[in-house]
């Protein structure tokens, strides 16, 4: 009956198991591996990536896809086939030489960037970066051509890798709305915050006690240590498979908030992965949705749960116990400290309010770059103009804290940035609906009960995998598509009215 | 010129990278993985094993092997091709159904054995075990048929998997010599040891301090923490690749010797793997030799270096510092404690002197079983007769400490046991040569200097990979093939004469 579809399921299961290997080899590389493992691990990962690519793009897969489309499939299987087809098209539309050339150019540019950034060496960087842009434009054009009309511009075709279903036009509209309101709102919030007292966190905080506290936080947020681990890495991240989620945070001994925020954030990512539909495990349709959804889950756990006054009040009691030095600070004082708004140079250090402007700036530049409306050498001026206009920050001559600060562009990962902010919009919109359906949410948070949030997310997001198109899923969950008004209202409520 | 040989190199490199993945997924499973990872990890490892098997036994590999044999190859390449051919033959000579059936029967038998052993339930075990024996006999017969006359008996064909190059006949001769002398020697040693005072290790020993001590020991034995890690696992083991060796030990807080012996042992395995020829990295010829060589390296580090009086004297000074409670015991007292000889039920707890009799007993039973000269139900009587005769131990009715104690037979790993004792013979023979070439070895050990041992092993064993046949390598290194006289002399010297 559906033998071609079943052959596809077998092949995609094989690909899934190769990805399982790469997932945990990657985790090990970041968390456990001694330095001597670098070269052998890089060789192994490269070979597994080649093998996976070959198995996905082999000619038999194309034939099975064609023939499966004529088989008698259930609605679920048809959706599953649609996702298989997308994975296949995404991988098979580029010539091997371009992939190879871009991988090499990206690795060279990224490697040199690590030093060039420290040296504020824009011209040195530009020498490598031009090639990355050139190859990324080629990639984008080929992806657009293969999209069967789904992508209006080359940049849309790169967005499709991270934000599939949210087009350039749609994202642009959301961002225009934020741009129209946020810069002025930032100024009003700064003005407002001048009138409140804010503590400075100082002291030395025992890292092993911080680890106990972070483990408690993860558990309170629903992280199950029977199906996951919390470890330490240079940069916080989350990875794993159903049944085995690995999250990482990092500790400083002069501060404790960043590790907690990172733990909450990564617990959101891991919770999503843990809640994916078991019956589709191993197939593309059972995977997590685009990064705009993934980031919405992590931001919901970090900004909507952990940073809420009610949860923070509950959590601070535990912190006072585990880190006795913190007893001098009330939960209200800590909350004010966590929610300071301040325009700055660096995206990853930005607060919830100014963060979108960092993203919009990058989005505007990278979309123009990929669509050949801007050249690489024009970036510093554009960066400075936008930073001045959006956040009042001067970056002239300061490349290292300006356009050279991020790793994303160095290896040609154009199209990724928007998901941070669309994710933020989605997270607020989801949480708005949850609050409406649970009027006692603050009482529950104040008791440390967040299970109703997980239940809602499980029902409306996690269990669906990639079954629905992304905006259909958001509409079904919240009654409308991604709408920036919820985010703007949240910013006013939290930062001007200090409501929650 | 040699394009088929080069295709083979590419394919074997791909297999090597899949093995890299399975190696570190296996390490993670034993050391890091949460319980929830069991099923997804088992699925991933099974799929990678299938993929590796398919890539190794694909018809193109057979054709490349045939055609490469007619290409113009260097002597090194010819040896490399020989090892490729062996790997291929070993994997392609069994029908997939038999592999599948044996894997299932073995998994079922091993799983049930974990409880049946605790329950002393021989009849329950026998019900599953008969199927494992039946399928292992089929496997052995097919392997023998495919060996091109290299294997005289079916059992030889299973030995080939772990002891390749050391035939059943050769191993039988070595074991006959040990059988003729060891049982009486054991009695003489017990008699001798009655006359000496032996301490009992009692107390509570801080595990974190033990970890510091074990890290120091590994480093003293040449383990490089830039290219490896030492962790904790339920059972000590060693795994990894060149540049990234992972060794594990286990700690008890009422005792410290076992963790140290395990660390020394696993450092030997890891050192061998680290010293394999870089130029053959990724090819079968560059892999470690059979288990009789691998075990000789671990036993050399454990029994010849760590247990030597001279090294122990040096190490005890460090132990006195890190574990102050041990200061009440002199290095001589500890050495006597470490070298107590006592016949017992359990192989893994046996001392250096009685251990070979445990192995010989298993060898005699499993070879008869696989060659259809004995049936599974006859094992308990044969076991008891041999334990009585070799070690004077009565195991009647005590299956759990008798023939049900080991995991090896439960999944059909017949042919493995002999490598423990042939490895012991080899280790003594290698170390005999090293001592002859370094008359000041005891002075060096007493200073903690063991580098000359590593240098010798690097030159005579490690750098050769699988280039030579195993007994040719031993002959080149020591002037003769594996000869049990060195081991017997070592036992007399250490245990009757207390020389080192």
pTM over 0.90: yes
Distance in angstroms (rounded) separating the CA atoms of residues A419 and A298 = 12
Cβ contact, residue pair B41, A244, below 8 Å: yes
Bridge pairing between strands A228-232 and A244-249:
parallel
Q: What is residue B205's predicted lDDT score, i.e. its pLDDT?
A: 96
Distance in angstroms (rounded) separating the CA atoms of residues B85 and B69 = 10
B58 touches chain A (CB under 8 A): no
A14 touches chain B (CB under 8 A): yes
What residues in A contact B36, CB-CB < 8 Å? Answer: 224, 226-228, 243-244
Start-to-end Cα distance in chain B:
56
Name the DSSP class of B149: T
Strand ranges in B117-256 using DSSP code E only, listed in sequence order? 228-232, 237-241, 244-249
Cβ contact, residue pair B40, A242, below 8 Å: yes
Q: Are A315 and A306 in contact (CB under 8 A)?
A: yes
DSSP helix/strand/coil, B245: strand
Work out the minimum CA distance from A281 to partner chain B, whole angstroms: 10
Identify which of B28, B47, B243 has the shortest CB distance to residue A37.
Answer: B243
Cβ contact, residue pair A17, B47, below 8 Å: yes
Query: Hey, what are A244's tokens?
Result: 């085995």
Q: What is residue B51's predicted lDDT score, i.e. its pLDDT?
A: 95
Distance in angstroms (rounded) separating the CA atoms of residues B252 and B210 = 9
Work out the minimum CA distance from A45 to partner chain B, whole angstroms: 8
Query: CA triplet B125, B130, B133: central angle to 5 degrees?
Result: 120
Closest CA to A484 of A78, A179, A202, A230: A179
Mean of the per-residue pLDDT values of chain A:
96
Distance in angstroms (rounded) separating the CA atoms of residues B4 and B68 = 5
- Residues in B 182-211 with any Cβ partner in A closer than 8 A: none
Distance in angstroms (rounded) separating the CA atoms of residues A442 and A450 = 10
The answer to whether A294 is annotated as binding is no
Q: What does the pLDDT profile of chain A (500 residues) look like in tens digits?
A: 689 999 999 999 999 999 999 999 999 999 999 999 999 999 999 999 999 999 999 999 999 999 999 999 999 999 999 999 999 999 999 998 999 899 999 999 999 999 999 999 999 999 999 999 999 999 999 999 999 898 999 999 999 999 999 999 999 999 999 999 999 999 999 999 999 889 999 999 999 999 999 999 999 999 999 999 999 999 999 999 999 999 999 999 999 999 999 999 999 999 999 999 999 999 999 999 999 999 999 999 999 999 999 999 999 999 999 999 999 999 999 999 999 999 999 999 999 999 999 999 999 999 999 999 999 999 999 999 999 999 999 999 999 999 999 999 999 999 999 999 999 999 999 999 999 999 999 999 999 999 999 999 999 999 999 999 999 999 999 999 999 999 999 999 999 999 99
Query: CA triplet B173, B294, B163: central angle to 5 degrees?
Result: 40
What residues in B contact A22, CB-CB < 8 Å? Answer: 21
A459 touches chain B (CB under 8 A): no
User: Catalytic site residues of B?
Assistant: 266
Distance in angstroms (rounded) separating the CA atoms of residues B70 and A381 = 65
* Domains present along chain A, CATH in parentheses: 3-150 (no CATH), 151-500 (1.10.1370.30)
Cβ contact, residue pair A35, B229, below 8 Å: no
- Bridge partners of A228, per DSSP, are A245
Q: What is residue B96's predicted lDDT score, i.e. its pLDDT?
A: 87
The answer to whether A100 is annotated as binding is no
Q: What is residue B1's predicted lDDT score, i.e. its pLDDT?
A: 60
Cβ contact, residue pair B44, A17, below 8 Å: yes
Q: What is residue B148's predicted lDDT score, i.e. its pLDDT?
A: 87
Q: Which of B27, B37, B230, B246 to mutate to probe the A interface, most A CBs <10 Å?
A: B37
A439 touches chain B (CB under 8 A): no
Cβ contact, residue pair A243, B21, below 8 Å: no
What residues in B contact A40, CB-CB < 8 Å? Answer: 20, 241-244
Distance in angstroms (rounded) separating the CA atoms of residues B458 and B456 = 5
Closest CA to B243 of A248, A233, A103, A29: A29
Q: What is residue A2's predicted lDDT score, i.e. its pLDDT?
A: 86
DSSP helix/strand/coil, A146: coil
User: Catalytic site residues of A?
Assistant: 266
Closest CA to B380 of B418, B409, B349, B420: B409
The answer to whether A265 is annotated as binding is yes
Distance in angstroms (rounded) separating the CA atoms of residues B439 and B442 = 8
**Which residue numbers in chain B have pLDDT < 70?**
1
What residues in A contact B13, CB-CB < 8 Å? Answer: 47
């Amino acid at each position: 009956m559906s033998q071609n579809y079943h052959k596809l399921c077998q092949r995609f299961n094989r690909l899934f198991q190769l990805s399982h290997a790469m997932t945990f080899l990657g985790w090990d590389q970041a968390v456990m591996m001694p330095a001597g493992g670098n070269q052998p691990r890089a060789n192994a990962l490269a070979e597994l990536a080649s093998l996976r690519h070959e198995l996905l793009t082999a000619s038999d897969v194309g034939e099975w896809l064609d023939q499966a489309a004529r088989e008698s499939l259930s609605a679920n299987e048809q959706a599953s086939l649609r996702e298989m087809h997308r994975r296949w098209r995404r991988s098979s539309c580029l010539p091997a030489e371009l992939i190879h050339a871009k991988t090499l150019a990206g690795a060279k540019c990224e490697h040199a960037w690590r030093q060039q950034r420290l040296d504020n060496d824009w011209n040195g960087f530009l020498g490598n970066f031009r090639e990355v842009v050139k190859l990324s434009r080629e990639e984008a054009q080929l992806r657009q051509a293969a999209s069967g009309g789904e992508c209006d511009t080359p940049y849309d075709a790169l967005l499709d890798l991270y934000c599939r279903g949210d087009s350039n036009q749609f994202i642009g509209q959301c961002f225009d709305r934020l741009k129209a309101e946020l810069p002025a709102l930032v100024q009003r919030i700064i003005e407002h915050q001048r009138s409140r007292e804010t503590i400075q966190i100082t002291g030395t905080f025992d890292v092993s006690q911080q680890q106990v506290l972070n483990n408690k936080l993860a558990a309170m947020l629903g992280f199950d240590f029977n199906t996951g681990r919390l470890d330490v890495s240079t940069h916080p991240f989350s990875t794993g498979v159903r049944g085995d989620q690995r999250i990482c945070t990092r500790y400083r001994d002069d501060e404790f908030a960043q590790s907690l925020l990172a733990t909450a954030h990564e617990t959101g990512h891991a919770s999503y992965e843990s809640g994916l539909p078991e019956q589709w495990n191993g197939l593309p349709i059972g995977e997590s949705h685009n990064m705009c959804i993934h980031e919405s889950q992590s931001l919901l756990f970090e900004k909507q749960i952990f940073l809420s006054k009610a949860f923070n009040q509950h959590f601070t009691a535990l912190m006072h116990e585990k880190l006795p030095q913190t007893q001098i600070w009330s939960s209200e004082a800590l909350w004010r400290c966590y929610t300071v708004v301040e325009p700055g140079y660096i995206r990853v250090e930005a607060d919830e309010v100014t963060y979108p402007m960092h993203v919009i700036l990058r989005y505007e530049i990278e979309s123009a770059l990929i669509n050949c409306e801007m050249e690489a050498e024009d970036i510093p001026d554009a960066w400075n103009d936008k930073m001045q206009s959006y956040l009042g920050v001067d970056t002239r001559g300061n490349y290292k804290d300006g356009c050279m600060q991020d790793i994303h562009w160095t290896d040609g990962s154009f199209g990724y940035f928007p998901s941070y902010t669309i994710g933020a919009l989605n997270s607020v919109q989801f949480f708005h609906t949850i609050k409406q359906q649970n009027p006692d949410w603050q009482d529950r948070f104040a008791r440390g009960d967040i299970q109703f949030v997980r239940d809602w997310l499980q029902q409306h997001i996690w269990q669906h995998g990639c079954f629905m198109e992304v905006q259909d899923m958001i509409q079904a969950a919240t009654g409308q598509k991604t709408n920036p008004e919820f985010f703007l209202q949240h910013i006013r409520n939290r930062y001007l009215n200090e409501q929650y």
